[in-house]
Amino acid sequence: MALSRTEKPKTTRGQDSLKPGSLPAHVAIIMDGNGRWARTQGLPRVEGHARGMDVVRLIVEECSRLKIEHLTLFCFSSENWKRPQPELDFLMQLLGRYLVSERKLLAEKNIRFGTLGRKDQLPAEVLGEIEETKRLCRENTGMGLSLAINYGGRGEIADAVRNIAKQVQLGKLTPEEISEEVISSSLYTAGIPDPDLLIRTAGEMRISNFLLWQVSYSEIWVTEKTWPEFGIADLQLAFQDFARRERKFGGLNS
């Protein structure tokens, strides 16, 4: 993984410099800093989450316009259940409202929709909205959008190992047949290419249990800006930095 920390962008070369061949096919984003942004504004933490949802809409639209093949957003981790109950209630309500309000955009932009993570802890109302949104997007053929909800990378790997163990127990798979491809096909992201670029906001230099298997060769780009401050210019800056990097995948470029 190659990593870059950035300061606040001074200038960008504009969207004309973003050539299709230089763009990442799959972009994953750790949307961090909603609470910190709210605190600096003298607002309740929940207001940061509400503002962050507006940024989600902006970035989804821009990635779709640029014909990014897949966008994965880390919305709610399996560790986030440790937060105060009022904040959790607000987050679940906000998620449900987002799923309803964005269906028109998903339809207009022909966006495919899916989720990553365990569903057993999610409220029934949220699960219902997830399934309805998936149903409505079933025939879409454009950019894929995955929301990681109640997601944890270690939990995902544990679930994959459990599924593979069952296949071995049933005689459908032998231990010798367990390969990287078999493991990949047992993850929540089965059928989705690994991320080319991982973006993290709010300056934190860690992966936070996000797509642990999938980001093994992802380029990492970190900005000091919190998620509510993140905009199209910042996304373009990340893409421009990505285009300048040499991706060797453990080998050597000639």
By the 8 A CB rule, do 187 and 156 touch?
yes
By the 8 A CB rule, do 36 and 201 touch?
no
Whose tokens are 């994953």? That residue is 28
Query: Which residue is catalytic, options 16, 34, 54, 80?
Result: 80
Beta bridge partners of 28: 72, 198
DSSP string for 166-212: HHHHTTSS-GGG--HHHHHHTSTTTTSPPPSEEEE-TT--S-TTSST
Question: Is 159 known to be catalytic?
Answer: no
DSSP 19: -
**Among the listed residues 55, 63, 3, the one whose alpha carbon sits nearest the alpha carbon of residue 32:** 55
Question: Is 80 known to be catalytic?
Answer: yes
Beta bridge partners of 73: 29, 147
By the 8 A CB rule, do 62 and 231 touch?
no
By the 8 A CB rule, do 111 and 80 touch?
no
DSSP string for 106-126: HHHTT-EEEEES--TTS-HHH
Distance CA 188, CA 115 (A): 9
Whose tokens are 């040499």? That residue is 246
Angle separating helix axes 232-244 and 45-65, nearest 10 degrees: 60
Query: Which residue is catalytic, options 32, 34, 150, 196?
Result: 32
Residues annotated as catalytic (active site), given as ranges = 32, 80
